[in-house]
Structure 1
Amino acid sequence: MIKLISFAVGLCACIQVQAQQIPNWQNQDLQKDSLFGISTDKAYTLLQGRKATPVIVAVIDAGVDTLHEDLKSVLWLNAKKKKGDNGTYGWSFIGSAKGNVHYDNLELTRQVRQGDTTLKKELARQLAEAQQTYQGMRNFEAILNSVTKKIGKENPGLADFKAFQPDGPGETQVTGTLIKILSEKDDFATFKQEQIDKGIEHYKALAEYQLNIAYDPRSIVGDDYLDSKQHNYGSADNNGPDPTHGTHVSGIIAAVRHNGIGLDGIADQVKVMNIRAVPDGDERDKDIANAIRYAADHGAKVINMSFGKSYSSDKKAVDEAMKYALKKDVLLVQAAGNDNHNIDSLNNFPNRKVVAGAWIVVGASGLRDDKELKAPFSNYGKTAVDVFAPGVQIYSSIPGSKYAYFDGTSMACPVVAGLAALIREYYPKLKATEVKDIILKTVVKRDSLTNYCLTGGVVNAYQALLLAATYTHRS
């Protein structure tokens, strides 16, 4: 499941002030810039005079805006057409001529619908919580709208809320919350959009679609869903109803560098393969397995997987697809998840149990070299997570040739996928396992991460390219 966390995750007590917003900080250098980026710009000084070999990076996600100004020139165009494919930028496994799946259930909901009675109580608990939070946020919004109407401004500032005389406990609570928020960031409109509007949208989707056992959109796809060996289904329409997440991920990897707009992607000679398999809800194992196979069969050398879930209905199908890709020398890069869980001991799918090879799991780190370097939302695990990478307030592309800041391991994952692609561009003879080895061996270690991941550090492009140059299989 895609989970952006740049909005509130509960009632007003859970609303938090966003971290500092600095474009391209993930590319900066700790020593030079005092920001814990991965030294991308410094790394390019090692590549002067070297020739790059273009690398295909598959982004398995919710879709990508193929017209985005900072991405359209770096998109992969399918030369191996299949039935229904008119030479587009990839494939969708969650659509058909009937349309596209936008919302889908959580895997928990699907398993209960399929007869797993042991999960009924957990589904009921999560649904009740989602409904309560949704209603609570709607109540907060209603009071906030009343307060702003009384203030008489569409975009009131800190002084306006301080001067306002609340009537009753509801207005007192809302006014106090806004004073706290705007004391740190005096931008009411951004707060309203990012934390209230998106929070309401998120919990509405949970209550009405993701946790609703009566909702099942699979008929849109038209496949035999229970046949995990079925590969030929889907649609060439791989933008999807909402390609925000996939567009943001793709920009981090490959947005055109030094063109004066947007951001600079990590890798400079990448073609982004757009594979749509992740709805607003939990991805289905059959679709993920087929997306991985599609990427491997069409020449991807790196696969970005900024998704995950707590339950799996067909882990075997996904595992077999992973093994298939690994045999084809593909490097898999996966987001660790955004629940602040130790995934050494809690389920997070897909996972590497019974699958070994060139597979990197990524946690999210913050801007500063301090005890809070681990992002507070990031999952972790001494064995299940390999490395950390920038994933807090990452500025990247969104649909309509626009840009936005998002938080999440979904943002950290493409930082590492971009780094892997950069290494493979300039050292094309390196195997996927060697690239993984290089990335893990060259992290910048910190005591604050020692117990949170295998390497205890944040990836670093400069150090990785220095080590890549010493490998015997270099070009």
Structure 2
Amino acid sequence: MKKMALGLGLLFSASTLASTVAIIDSGTDMKHKDIAPKAWINSVEIPDNNRDEDRNGYQDDIYGWNFAESNNQVIDYKYLGTLNEDVRKFFIVQEKMMRQTATQEEIEWAREILKDEAFIKRISIYGNFMHGTHVAGIAAKKANNAKIMAVKLIPTEVKLPGQDKISKKDGFALKMFKKGLELLAKQQATMMEEIGYYVDGHKADVANGSFGTGYPQAQQITAMLYKTLFRKDPTPELNHELSLVFLNAAVRENARLVEVAPNTLFVFAAGNDGLDNDKFPTSPTNIQADNVISVAATMGRMAIAPFSNYGKEMVDVAAPGVGILSAAPGDEYVKVSGTSQAAPFVANIAARVKDANPSLSPVDIKKIIMGTVDYKNYLTDKVLTGGLVNPGRAVQAGILSGTRSVEDSISAAREQVADVVVEGEAKSLPLMGSGFVIPLPSMFKF
């Protein structure tokens, strides 16, 4: 871990005039025309001279750092040709199905193409490749002063850590197997902690985390490892128990990410499994800390998205996350759905609030975002605030906080800025079924 090297030259690398938003994701195209003008640049480093001017242990970290491959290449452009018409069409049909406007022909096409292993592989790779750029585009939109920092955590193609090292002849007892799951979670958290020190060293004000491991993914991980070790499948009851052991350990260990960066507000996507995070943990979004805010996704401002995770205790707010048009690598644009898109909507608001009053702490910004929501009946039992973020009202509260307390600013902003106007009525939506929404990018392959 390189945490001991941080902090020597970094005081001068972060802009004092604009908030810095770290995109902790699968890589970001910093050359994209929407992102390049807002790119965070480490002014202490001299590009491509193979030296470490700021002495933080990350050589030539001009735009950020690639923790997945331990270099300064924050995106791998060799995947640029992965986007084709089928992938683009799938995202479009996916949205139409959620809005119940897809034709029967489009529905049948989507169901059939999901049976094509080559397509599944292609869209999975492209999903990882474009993900960080898409998220960055949302976080940057209308945040005119914000600077986007790229922090690559997710490899474009990933595998389960340590999978090749497991011996089928090892006769671990179940107790030791559970300890192994906790060690796996701790191994993941080591990198997370290093990222925390990195964003703290570069004084990032906001960090967006549209990644994670949910209950269905954990079930696949634990079942695969169990079968490898014990040569048989675990019972459903046992695998449920093992999944909770793994996820609870992941949440506990990944808390190191936010603990070492107390001056950064972390915005996490709630997950795309349609599950209750109060009952089925998702990591890292279930981390409970003053500088963490968890985000569910909605269909515009009309209803909670059918794929979105939720949680009266574990998820704080909701934001739009269906059919969101944003940047994709190579100056492309695609419409994508997920809590991955809802989270940067909130990170964007956080950056704008911070720019309105740079003296605000992460706790203050979180209070403002949560205190200025539009209350929605369909969110009463789904998120802690029972509401949908209101960008204009939050920014107004940020402005007002320059001359009054945060609490008074929230109250005044609620009086001054109306709820966002919504046309039509909220309605319940059918579940989409497995495969229609890509899970959050994870460090693990399952």
Q: CA shift at 1:470, angstroms? A: 3.4
Give the CA deviation at 1:466.
2.6
On the 8 A contact 2:349/2:395 being kept in 1, the answer is no
Tell me which amino acid in the other structure corresponds to 1:323: E
> Structure 2 CA distance, aligned partners of 1:366 and 1:420?
21
The match for 2:260 is 324
Cα offset, 1:375, TM superposition: 0.2
Q: In the superposition, relative to structure 1, how do residues 330 and 447 fare at CA in structure 2: closer, same or farther (>3 Å)?
A: same
**1:34 aligns to what?**
none
Q: Against the structure 1 CA distance between its residues 96 and 333, is the aligned structure 2 distance closer, same or farther, given a 3 Å change threshold?
A: closer
Partner SS for 2:272: coil
How far apart are residue 468 of structure 1 and its match?
2.5
Aligned length: 301
Distance 2:358 2:104 in 1: 47
Q: Secondary structure at the match of 2:382?
A: coil
TM-superposed deviation, 1:292: 2.1
Contact 1:266 1:419 in 2 (8 A): no
2:218 counterpart residue number: none
Aligned to 2:113: 196
Q: Give the structure 1 partner of residue 192 of structure 2.
A: 288
3-state DSSP of counterpart to 1:273: strand
- Listed one character per residue, the Cα deviations across residues 25-79 of structure 1 (whole Å, up to 9, x for unaligned) are xxxxxxxxxxxxxxxxxxxxxxxxxxx9311000000001121111112111223
SS at match of 1:423: helix
Structure 1 position 445, deviation (Å) = 0.7
- Give the distance between the partners of 2:17 and 2:70, measured in 1 at CA: 35
Aligned equivalent of 2:336: 406
Q: Is residue 2:207 matched to residue 1:277?
A: no
| Worse overlay, 296-305 or 71-80 | 71-80
Candidates 289, 297, 308, aligned match of 1:364: 297
Give 1:291 deviation, angstroms: 1.6
CA-to-partner distance for each residue in 1:353-409, whole Å, 9 max, x for gaps? 5x421211000011253xxx1000000000100000010000000011010000000
Q: Is the 8 A contact 1:308 1:350 kept in 2?
A: yes
CA shift at 1:267, angstroms? 1.1
TM-score when normalising by structure 1: 0.56
- Contact 1:337–1:379 (Cα < 8 Å) also in 2: yes
Structure 1 residue aligned with 2:21: 57
Partner in structure 1 of residue 133 of structure 2: 247
The amino acid of 2:346's aligned partner reads V
Counting aligned pairs with the same residue, the percent is 33
Code of the residue aligned with 2:368 in structure 1: it is I
1:109-128 alignment to 2 at 5 Å?
none
Partner in structure 2 of residue 73 of structure 1: 37
Compute the displacement of 1:85 (Å): 2.1
1:392 to 313, 317, 322: 322
Could you say if the C-alpha distance between residues 67 and 191 of structure 1 is closer, same or farther in structure 2, counting changes exceeding 3 Å?
Answer: farther
Tell me, which stretches of 5 or more residues in structure 2 are unaligned?
1-15, 45-53, 77-85, 90-96, 162-187, 215-245, 410-446
| Structure index of larger Rg | 1
- Give the superposition deviation at 1:415: 0.2
Residue of structure 1 equivalent to 2:143: 267
- Cα distance in 2 for partners of 1:190, 1:308 equals 28
**Which is worse superposed, 63-72 or 401-410?**
63-72
Deviant stretches of 4+, over 6 Å: 99-102, 186-195
Paired amino acid for 1:437: K
Match of 1:420 among 350, 353, 357: 350
CA distance in 2, matches of 1:84, 1:74: 22
1:187, distance to aligned residue in structure 2 (A): 12
Q: Could you say which residue in structure 1 is the equivalent of 2:62? A: 88
**Structure 2 matches for 1:204-243, cutoff 5 A?**
204=121, 243=129
Contact 1:95 1:101 in 2 (8 A): no
**Cα gap change, 1:335 to 1:241, in 2 (>3 Å):** closer
